[in-house]
Structure 1
Amino acid sequence: MKRIIFFLQLLWFVPVSAQDPFRAYLSSVPEIVSVIGDTLTGEGAEAIVTRKITFTSRNGANTVYAVMAFPAREGKYPGMLFLHGGGSRAEDMLGRVQDYARRGYVALAPDLPGICGNGKTPHSTGPWKSRPNGEAPRFDLANGPESSTLADAIVAGLEAFNLLRSRPDVDVKHMGITGFSWGGYSTTMLTGLLGNKVQAAYSVFGSGFYDLGSFWKEIIAQLPEADRKTWLQYFDAGRRAKNIKAPFFMEAASNDTYFWPEAVMATLGRIKGEKNLVWGPNINHKQIPGGGKMQELYFDYYLKGKGQPFGKVEAKPGKKHVTITVRMPKGITVDSVMLYCAAPSADWQHKKWTAVPAQKSGKKYVAEIPAGSDHWFAYVGDSRGVALASLMHGPELLLPVK
């Protein structure tokens, strides 16, 4: 009981301080320092311009490289911000940025200082670049919140979003953010910080609440108490999630090395508005098959008004069976309904998830939990290739806070 009360205290912790390292940058539009190159490709409606730039960040302390692409044809288009993962860079997102431009978006991906690989970002500069790669600088609070290289990363993300939003060809009422791994974390952070400026967010295994269950749990636990409280207050994406206003989708991996179910569940529980998710069963830090297409459908619906929304999946345990409720939009049918179950293991990465087909029972589905299982979730595929899941159930997992 004490453990649950402690967790709930963490969930309801509200950061309020004038020392917030991001407050001054919420509306900051950076200056473009250089245009490294423009390239026109394609013809007709699919003609796009790919532009590579650098912009100032954090009051000129950093220079950040970014790739963007946009339709060559004049008009107003939704804006999309892409955020790379740890050790990656903006250039690695170029293909996705161009794909979205061809589909009628203005898309931008920046280097994220302190998250990107230092040795692969020749156009991005700043004090952060002289610090070692790896986790330590992200949790360094020796001189306050500004010491963490995550301050550089999130400020660069905020300013990239504001730069994108400032373009005359961008429809500021239709802005989306997506990212992968540390970029998924950044997606959750930025969506919480930017509030109503974001209209749709899709985070690929990027939760908050690292202290509850993540690769970084022990690093946080070993920080001096004052530093630990400061890091959780300012840099924990889960504690920012209460301010998320946009529809939010979490693509999590059941066996992820970095973002464990405890953290994913707590982050979702913090979001008060529209939210949805999928667990990639028996997947460790890889996007599910069809995940890229799901992102396209998701953003087309919320930012363009095209297609249908995703369905919703709920699962409730009974004495002998789990009852699964599936709600699909008009014209979309259910292809499959499974209950994924796993027995206890030493850690999440070694869980073996077994699929139990659910049987139709009236308007719902039922499935029996195999003996010896300690965790389970419902998993549904629809006629578009979209995969959805229920919350995960089992020991140490908190249901969303109402």
Structure 2
Amino acid sequence: MTIKTATAQTGVKGTIWDVPGIDETPAFKTMAVDSAIGIIYQGLPYKQHAQSVFAYYATPGTISGNRSLDKHLPAVVLVHGGGGTAFREWALMWAKKGYAAIAMDLRGNGPERKHLENGLEETNGQTPYFDVTPDLHDQWLYQAVANVLLAHNLIRQFPEIDSNRIAITGISWGGVITCMMAGLDNRYKAAVPVYGCGYLWECGNMAKAVAGISLQNQETWIKQYDPSNYIGKAGMPVLFINGANDVHFWLTAYAHTYALVRNRYLCIKVGMKHSHHYGWANDEIFTFINHLFNNTPPLPVIKDFRITNGQVTASISNASDSVQSFLNYTTDTTSLPEKRKWESIRVSVKSNKINCPVAPAGAVVWYLSLLDGNGLQSSGPLQFLN
């Protein structure tokens, strides 16, 4: 595989990732070639040695066995979450859709989750998400973010890639990193964080983890790593996808995060489960990115949302004749957010307009959503009531 030699400018100037090598195309070697290519590329120095990072790279040509077919491809960078790895099937899923895809391992592992020589280290298989070690360069999230930056540098230099059509999407902790990337790496043309958000000290299990480190380390970690410090600089369109009952990323923190982004789109689903496979199976991700890159039909979008005298009005853009609208709400104040029972009421749509009463009395959180004829969903802004 040959690559272009140009340096790739990331946009991390002035951050803790503003270090030598971060704007360069990393050295790499090919480990195996089949429908997905296994590669090892060089990360930033780690624990006083050169770091190795494993990734799968897939294209329509790697699947067909004819790489000459790979020309001017859109691409996507795939970021796994907690307990994840470089998911070969995830990269292949995008390659079958006509994209180049790179899925790297951020835990120091290679194929079959076996630890890679000179890879990142975990203790007892536990990723140290909130570690604040004396040496910044030994901290997991510092290296994870750097390894995503370098993977992007690498893929955009492959000759078959259209560097003006590259997106990023990540699941859970990969969604956290995707939120960071949206503000740190302005070369992306689209970003889709799934589950992950900022303001992690407001999020259930995440809040417990933050509270489990010293106050000084909390301050350091939040300043260095919480996505709320970065995502407000995002210039590309960002689609936020989450479940209304997500156990790790609560809607309050989610709303605070998306409010920082000007060019935002929302997709909040009642009953959405939390896993890598459930996360990347959301067809809204591909629809959103492919519309931006290939001008295919977009997701329906709720616009001009207003509340006046107890009535909600909104308009729908990109609507099909079969689009349906729902008012989703919960009156449950006794449970943790992940256990709350939600109700959905269908509301009428006339001439791509919504006009309905606000959520019933007692609702503590509510929002409008759309469902089109292809089963794709989108949402309006979350509404919180005391």
TM-score (norm 1): 0.82
Q: 1:342: which partner in 2?
A: 330
- Aligned residues of 2:107 and 2:122 also touching (Cα < 8 A): no
Q: 1:267: which partner in 2?
A: 257
Cα displacement string for residues 106-142 of structure 1 (whole angstroms, at most 9, x for unaligned residues):
111000127x7x995226343632534335x221213
Q: 1:313 to 1:338 in 2, by over 3 A?
A: farther
Q: State which of 114, 121, 139 in structure 1 corresponds to 2:113.
A: 121
Q: 1:86: which partner in 2?
A: 82
One-letter identity of the residue aligned with 1:325: A
- Aligned residues of 1:276 and 1:312 also touching (Cα < 8 A): no
Cα displacement string for residues 282-314 of structure 1 (whole angstroms, at most 9, x for unaligned residues):
334257799532222112111223333542356
Aligned equivalents of 1:105, 1:166: Cα separation in 2? 15
Q: State which of 385, 389, 398 in structure 1 corresponds to 2:375.
A: 385
One-letter identity of the residue aligned with 1:20: I
SS in 2 for 1:129: coil
Q: How does 1:160-179 map to 2 (within 5 A)?
A: 160-179=151-170
Asked if 1:185 is matched to 2:176, the reply is yes
Q: How does 1:269-288 map to 2 (within 5 A)?
A: 269-272=259-262, 274-285=263-274
Residue ranges of structure 2 left out of the alignment (5+ in a row):
1-11, 62-66
Shift of 1:340: 0.8
Shift of 1:18: 5.4
Q: 2:123: which partner in 1?
A: 131
Shift of 1:146: 3.0
Asked if 1:112 is matched to 2:106, the reply is yes
Aligned equivalents of 1:282, 1:374: Cα separation in 2? 17
One-letter identity of the residue aligned with 1:55: Y
Q: 1:38 to 1:110 in 2, by over 3 A?
A: same
- Aligned residues of 2:171 and 2:196 also touching (Cα < 8 A): yes
Q: 1:158: which partner in 2?
A: 149
- Aligned residues of 1:29 and 1:162 also touching (Cα < 8 A): yes
Shift of 1:160: 0.8
Q: 2:73: which partner in 1?
A: 77
Q: 2:42: which partner in 1?
A: 56
Aligned equivalents of 2:369, 2:306: Cα separation in 1? 13
- Aligned residues of 1:54 and 1:123 also touching (Cα < 8 A): no
Aligned equivalents of 1:288, 1:345: Cα separation in 2? 27
Say which is worse superposed, 80-89 or 18-27, in terms of deviation.
18-27
Q: 1:313 to 1:214 in 2, by over 3 A?
A: farther
Shift of 1:315: 4.3
- Aligned residues of 1:339 and 1:357 also touching (Cα < 8 A): yes
Q: How does 1:247-326 map to 2 (within 5 A)?
A: 247-272=237-262, 274-285=263-274, 291-308=281-298, 310-313=300-303, 315-321=305-311, 323-326=312-315
SS in 1 for 2:383: coil
- Aligned residues of 2:194 and 2:279 also touching (Cα < 8 A): no
Q: 1:231: which partner in 2?
A: 221
One-letter identity of the residue aligned with 2:335: A
Shift of 1:212: 2.5
Shift of 1:243: 1.6
Cα displacement string for residues 130-185 of structure 1 (whole angstroms, at most 9, x for unaligned residues):
534335x2212130533421112111111111111111111111111111111111
Count of residues in Structure 1 that have an aligned counterpart in Structure 2: 362
One-letter identity of the residue aligned with 1:50: A
One-letter identity of the residue aligned with 1:77: L
Aligned equivalents of 1:67, 1:127: Cα separation in 2? 16
- Aligned residues of 1:25 and 1:155 also touching (Cα < 8 A): no
Shift of 1:383: 2.9
- Aligned residues of 1:56 and 1:64 also touching (Cα < 8 A): yes
- Aligned residues of 1:340 and 1:353 also touching (Cα < 8 A): yes
- Aligned residues of 1:332 and 1:384 also touching (Cα < 8 A): no
Q: 1:271 to 1:25 in 2, by over 3 A?
A: farther
Q: 2:3: which partner in 1?
A: none
Aligned equivalents of 2:122, 2:278: Cα separation in 1? 36
Aligned equivalents of 2:371, 2:289: Cα separation in 1? 19
SS in 2 for 1:216: helix
SS in 2 for 1:35: strand
- Aligned residues of 1:341 and 1:355 also touching (Cα < 8 A): yes
One-letter identity of the residue aligned with 2:270: P
Q: State which of 192, 196, 212 in structure 2 corresponds to 1:202.
A: 192
Q: 1:27: which partner in 2?
A: 23
RMSD (Å) for aligned C-alpha atoms: 2.7
Aligned equivalents of 1:221, 1:289: Cα separation in 2? 27
Shift of 1:245: 1.3
Aligned equivalents of 1:80, 1:19: Cα separation in 2? 24
Aligned equivalents of 1:21, 1:102: Cα separation in 2? 34
Shift of 1:83: 1.1
Q: State which of 236, 241, 244 in structure 2 corresponds to 1:246.
A: 236
Shift of 1:317: 3.6
Aligned equivalents of 1:288, 1:361: Cα separation in 2? 33
- Aligned residues of 2:284 and 2:299 also touching (Cα < 8 A): no
Q: 1:297 to 1:129 in 2, by over 3 A?
A: same
Q: 2:9: which partner in 1?
A: none
- Aligned residues of 2:74 and 2:162 also touching (Cα < 8 A): yes
- Aligned residues of 2:75 and 2:166 also touching (Cα < 8 A): yes
Aligned equivalents of 1:254, 1:175: Cα separation in 2? 29
Aligned equivalents of 1:382, 1:155: Cα separation in 2? 38
Aligned equivalents of 2:273, 2:196: Cα separation in 1? 13
Question: Structure 1 residue runs of 4+, over 6 Å off?
Answer: 287-290
Aligned equivalents of 2:280, 2:152: Cα separation in 1? 26
- Aligned residues of 2:179 and 2:198 also touching (Cα < 8 A): yes
Shift of 1:325: 1.2
SS in 1 for 2:200: coil
